[in-house]
Amino acid sequence: MNLYFFTSAFIFLIGLGVLAIIALFVMDVTQTSDAVRRNYPVVGRFRHIFSTLGEFFRQYFFAMDREEMPFNRAEREWIGRAAKGEDNTVAFGSTKMLTAPGTAIFVNCPFPTLNEDAAEVQPLLIGPYCDAPYNAGSFFNISAMSYGALSTPAVRALSKGAKMAGCWMNTGEGGLSPYHLEGGADIVFQIGTAKYGVRDEKGQLSDLKLKEVAAHDQVKMFELKMSQGAKPGKGGILPGAKVNAEIAAIRGIPEGQDSISPNRHPEVNDAGSMLDMLNHIREVTGKPVGFKAVVGSYGWLADLAKEIQRRGIETAPDFITVDSGDGGTGAAPMPLMDNVGLVVRESLPLVVDILTEHGLRDRIKVIASGKLVTPSEVAWALATGADFINSARGFMFSLGCIQALKCNKNTCPTGITTHNKRLQKGLNPADKSVKVANFCQNLIHEVEVISHSCGVGRPRLLKRKHVRIMQNDGTSIPMDERYPYKDILPEYLPKEAAE
């Protein structure tokens, strides 16, 4: 009896399979949207399956440790071990191509700094002319990632982890959620071009809502987003599938509709109007205010410096966040992500030198952002002249990101960038917050290891003289020759700006 039942069931399933194949065959030969499926019915469907699976097979089986983009296996595994608090030493020599042009090589000192001579990282004051200046304790911090783009448990984990590590957390342009605040972290509130969270019914900047946000003691600074690395010249994009009722209420937008920001602030047309807006926000909130931008053209930075000198040093932005033009976590058009904006390797020394040339370097703090996720990259940024480094994707990896490249969809398999409750269950904020803190603290520790090797007592004492840059011929030159602090106007600035 059992044999008869199983035989019948097997034949029935085979029949269903045959019918399914016939149905797919008919569907493929009659459709006109896909030539491969029309010419090769049923079999042609495997092309899409293999193409979809290809990125995963490359990541785990075929890509070498140092060749994958945007982040390679060596980088991801270093972050993973740092987040778990595991031993992060390696054996048998470096797998990094040290002779590749542009590679930064740190110049070790014959008499390195002893542990007992090392100094602790000192807090750095931002906004000395504000009613409530911010004494920032960590040079490595969480970059802008909006609630909405990130899930609830991800924001909770980052907030709690930032508090444990003593670093700040940037809200991104999506507004201030309860989950940003509940962990107790210091918050940088970002104002995007759509003014989410601080907009009135017409979408204009609201002084009343600015004051409401600033009333939170955890909100330490405000950042005006001019542009970002994923899409310089285009506003933020949040698919409608992610705009639920809560996110719509926080942002002040309709539920279920794509949330697309303007490509710039309509009221900011030049350096003068930018300063007007920055100073207005600072007057209303009483807290430090700066801006974030991807650098492409740069004559406007000289115009900004001259306008500050004309108005007075107190009118300057309290900080500038220099974002890299090689992309970020957000949904973005490929032409912008691939080909628009200077990468931070070129733009950071450029910005630092322009501020130095105009006597504004001490007044305006510089924050570097864009794929700086390992100790050597962070140490390079500090040596180049940055005061702080922000990272988004590095902290996403500490949360468990597997680089599935689904950030722009609602299908993130690790629960970080999805609002699918089933997928979010895999992300435990209590557990992940510890990994967030571990990553931040271990990275800072290893940057200190680099600085001590170079003979300085703490990371911010690293200078360009401590770094050499590999050239095409396989030899290196000092970075202070490649990017000198002095006499930069004729080389970097347009003729009219130099004059």
Average pLDDT over residues 330-358: 84
Last residue of a domain, one of 62, 84, 109: 62
Given a cut of 90, whether residue 39 has pLDDT beyond it is no
Longest dimension (CA), the chain: 98
Q: What is the pLDDT of residue 407?
A: 78
Q: State the CB neighbour count (10 A cutoff) for residue 90.
A: 12
Phi, psi of 12 (to 5 degrees): -60, -45
Alpha helices in 326-403 (DSSP H): 334-339, 344-357, 375-384, 393-399
Residue 256 binned pLDDT confidence (cut-offs 50, 70, 90): confident
Q: Which residue has the tokens 């650098």?
A: 295
CB of 42 within 8 A of CB of 28?
yes
Domain-located, residue 112: no
Strands (E), 4-51: none
Q: What is the pLDDT of residue 151?
A: 92
Structure tokens at 108: 């070790």
Q: What is the pLDDT of residue 439?
A: 96
Same domain, 23 and 131: no
Same domain, 46 and 153: no
Q: What pLDDT digit, counting tens, does each position of 486-495 carry?
A: 544 444 344 4
Cis peptide before 112 (omega within 30 of 0): no
Domain-located, residue 365: yes
Given a cut of 90, whether residue 380 has pLDDT beyond it is yes
Same domain, 221 and 348: yes
Structure tokens at 481: 């020759």
Same domain, 183 and 40: no
Last residue of a domain, one of 35, 62, 89: 62
Helix (H) or strand (E) holding 193: none
Same domain, 308 and 159: yes
Same domain, 187 and 48: no
Alpha-carbon span 487 to 86, nearest angstrom: 46
Phi, psi of 171 (to 5 degrees): -70, -20
- Is 36 or 201 the better-scoring residue by pLDDT? 201
Total domains in the fold of the chain: 2
Please report the sign of the dihedral spanned by the C-alpha atoms of residue 247, residue 252, residue 255, residue 259: negative
Average pLDDT over residues 395-424: 85
Strands 124-126 and 134-136: antiparallel
Same domain, 53 and 161: no
DSSP code at position 106? E
Contacts 24+ apart (CB under 8 A), 407-415: 407/149, 407/329, 407/330, 407/331, 408/237, 408/239, 408/330, 408/331, 408/332, 409/239, 410/239, 410/241, 410/242, 412/151, 415/151, 415/153, 415/154
Domain-located, residue 230: yes
40 forms bridges with which residues in the sheet? none
- Is 24 or 132 the better-scoring residue by pLDDT? 132
CB of 164 within 8 A of CB of 434?
yes
Given a cut of 70, whether residue 250 has pLDDT beyond it is yes
Same domain, 223 and 370: yes
Same domain, 243 and 306: yes
Q: Which residues form the domain of 56?
A: 2-62
Domain-located, residue 85: no
Residue 472, amino acid: N
Structure tokens at 166: 């003593």
Give the least confident one: 53-57, 144-148, 201-205, 301-305.
Answer: 53-57
Domain-located, residue 340: yes
Domain-located, residue 77: no
Average pLDDT over residues 325-349: 78
Q: What is the pLDDT of residue 432?
A: 94
Alpha-carbon span 476 to 99, nearest angstrom: 9
Percent of the chain at pLDDT > 90 equals 53
Strands 388-391 and 140-142: parallel
Same domain, 50 and 152: no
Question: What is the model's pTM?
Answer: 0.86
Smallest CA-to-CA distance from 82 within 451, 453, 460, 444 is with 444
CA distances from 76 to 48, 70, 122 (A): 27, 10, 29
Domain-located, residue 84: no
Same domain, 314 and 379: yes
Given a cut of 60, whether residue 498 has pLDDT beyond it is no
Q: What is the pLDDT of residue 491?
A: 41
Same domain, 329 and 444: yes
- Is 38 or 164 the better-scoring residue by pLDDT? 164
Given a cut of 90, whether residue 14 has pLDDT beyond it is no
Domain-located, residue 98: no
Last residue of a domain, one of 44, 62, 80: 62
